Structure 1
Amino acid sequence: MQTKIVGILNYTPDSFSDGGSFFSLKTAQKHFEGMLEDGADIVDIGANSTSYNRILLSAGEEWSRVQELLHIIAPKYGHLISLDTFYPENAEKAVDLGVHMINDVGGAKDQRILDVIAKNKHALYVFMYSLALPANKEIRAKSREEIYDFAKSKLDLLQAKGIELGRVIFDPGIGFATNPSLSLKVISELVFFKSLNVPIYIGHSRKSFLESMTKFPPEGGDIETLAASLYMVLQGVDYLRVHNVNIHARAIKIWEAMRSSL
């Protein structure tokens, strides 16, 4: 499987990287369509910031924020949309509109979301290694084995719920539930997770574990992100969730052309 690019659309006023930049219907729709033109395979829309020290929106508040945007773009682009939500009721409303992917950063903490996925056979499901919402620097994974065991137990649960593993994707929670050293270890050794036999999804874009090495400026980090991305492409990563789709699409196209010529 060639690496797929997931563009990030933070439909929030308080995202850690670009909060507020696309927090209007007009700018959000333009950015969504721009990422598709730049080469995104899918765009992940999030209305509820789960970064450190954030106050989470309720399910109703989250849906109130995102519903108008989804009603505008889903009729045409539903198969290219991912909704970042851990609320079962919002996942169900989204797939009813034709949204193709649910990105659950709660890692099925609320198992009712699995019932939504089980009965909607067209939907893909991303579950993330997650210990706390919002993210908490005091509650993190201690080893890659801990992340692997979490994934394995969740996959067993998903199968018990009747969800085909062909619709399931795993995100090890880089920079969210891992410290900088473990984040680097995970992305450097993705083959460790390949035995889960589901696609691997990495959301490392502009995160602080990269900043700790080069001290990039606010709203920076695309060079560092791309460097890590290309190393993961070499390892066969399945999905890369990134802010700057344009540079990733261009770089990966060259990378694939060079690899195929060998």
Structure 2
Amino acid sequence: MALAELRIRNGPLIMGVVNVTPDSFSDGGRFFLHASAIEQAKSLIEAGADVLDIGGESTRPGAVPVSAADEIARVVPVIEGLRRDWNGPISIDTFKAQVARAAVAAGANIWNDIRALEGEGSLEAAADLNCDIILMHMKGDPQTMQSEPRYDDVVAEVEAYLLARAEGAMAAGVARERIWLDPGIGFGKTLDHNLSLIRATGRLAAHGFPLLMAASRKRFIAALEEREGAGPSTADERIGGTIAVHLKAIELGARMVRVHDVQAMKQALRIWGALR
């Protein structure tokens, strides 16, 4: 099922995060084993996830790169295991064309790319795979992206980049209705950059491409709390901030949110929708 069809039927979508990595910032490798990752994914489905996002390489600031072969070995068995019992949308979170091809062959039908198809062979792979594509903005790379990122106008620069990447994808053969955009909260941005982009969700969504907002448990939430006088928080203490950001983004036009805490987000969306 294409994401566009699911969006029309269900309204705002919830993408549940499954990190098959030993060093994720949010869950510290708790789901690194295939069986644990599959169990976690199934629990997210039961909690109300519309989409599952499977990742085999951490992209937190300072993360150590892994080979395509290692990444494939991590994610493909999980995707295959899920496909035995579930036919909903599965996203592969990777910037490597080789990994995307292997994941789609195993049953994934969405490619979530933090490098917006800039990797070697990625445009060609996206056209060949004929799957939904999420194009994200990142300044630098995970090893360096949080080292004093600078912009003259963060919203204008992210907007121009994402539109250019979307045009490049379409020129390569990706159908327009399969393209999603993601401003890349926390990927080469300061606290103020992140806040500016969240406030600009409506502007970014106005170009006709559906927008994904992915702010779950990110460090900028703690930084904002500290600016307001609160003490430091760990990743799993940022659920309230995550919900606040995502509800605001949905109010402004985001069509999907990527979260670790699906049940809490589902409840918040249900109540928010009833109050509206």
Tell me the TM-score normalized by structure 2.
0.88
Deviation at 1:67, TM superposition (A): 2.1
| SS in structure 1 at match of 2:91 | strand
| Equivalent position amino acid for 2:141 in 1 | L
**Residue 183 (structure 2) aligns with:** 172
CA–CA distance in structure 2, aligned partners of residues 246 and 68 of structure 1: 25
Partner of 1:5: 14
Give a deviation string over 1:79-119, Cα, whole Å, max 9, x none: 42111011101111111222111110112121522222212
Task: Sort the Cα spacing of 1:14 and 1:227 in 2 relative to 1 into closer, same or farther, 3 A.
Answer: same
> Do the aligned partners of 1:79 and 1:100 also contact (CA within 8 Å) in 2?
no
Confirm whether residue 134 of structure 1 aligns to residue 145 of structure 2.
no
* Gap regions ≥5 residues in structure 1: none
Unaligned 5+ runs, structure 2? 1-6, 226-231
Aligned mates of 2:150, 2:107 — CA distance in 1: 34
**In 2, Cα distance between equivalents of 1:81 and 1:248:** 19
Q: 1:160 aligns with which of 155, 167, 171?
A: 171
After superposition, the Cα gap between the structure-2 partners of 1:166 and 1:141, relative to the gap in structure 1 and judged at 3 Å, is farther
Q: 134-143 or 163-172: which moved more?
A: 134-143
Corresponding position: 1:238 with 2:255:
yes
2:206 aligned counterpart, secondary structure:
helix
Between stretches 20-29 and 135-144, larger displacement belongs to 135-144
How far apart, CA to CA, are the structure 1 residues paired with 2:160 and 2:250? 24
The equivalent of 1:213 in structure 2 is: 224
- Structure 2: distance between partners of 1:21 and 1:36: 18
Contact 2:185–2:194 (Cα < 8 Å) also in 1:
yes
SS at match of 1:45: strand
Once the two structures are superposed, the pairs formed by residues 6-21 of structure 1 within 5 Å of their partners are: 6-21=15-30
Contact 2:134 2:181 in 1 (8 A): yes
TM-aligned CA distance change 1:141 to 1:39, over 3 Å:
farther
Q: What do the CA deviations read for 1:100-154 (whole angstroms, capped 9, x no partner)? A: 1111011212152222221223x11001102323252136351110101101111
2:212, 2:258 within 8 Å by CA — same for their partners in 1?
A: yes
Alpha carbons 1:205, 1:243 under 8 Å: kept: yes
Structure 1 runs of 4+ aligned residues shifted over 4 Å read: none
Amino acid at match of 2:251: L
Q: Which moved more, 1:126-135 or 1:10-19?
A: 126-135
Q: How do residues 40-189 of structure 1 correspond to structure 2 at under 5 angstroms?
A: 40-77=49-86, 79-121=88-130, 123-135=131-143, 136-138=145-147, 140=149, 142=151, 143-189=154-200
Computed over aligned residues only, the root mean square deviation of the Cα atoms, in angstroms, reads 1.6
**Kindly, what percent of the aligned residue pairs are identical?**
29
Distance 1:176 1:13, change over 3 A: same
Q: Distance in 2 between matches of 1:77 and 1:113?
A: 27
- Aligned residues of 1:132 and 1:139 also touching (Cα < 8 A): no
Match of 1:253 among 250, 266, 270: 270
Partners of 1:74 and 1:114 in 2: how far apart? 26
Cα 1:110/1:101, change in 2 over 3 Å: same
Count, aligned residues = 258
**2:264 matched to 1:222?**
no
Q: Deviations over 1:146-199 (max 9, x none)?
A: 101101111111111111110000111101122110101111221111232101
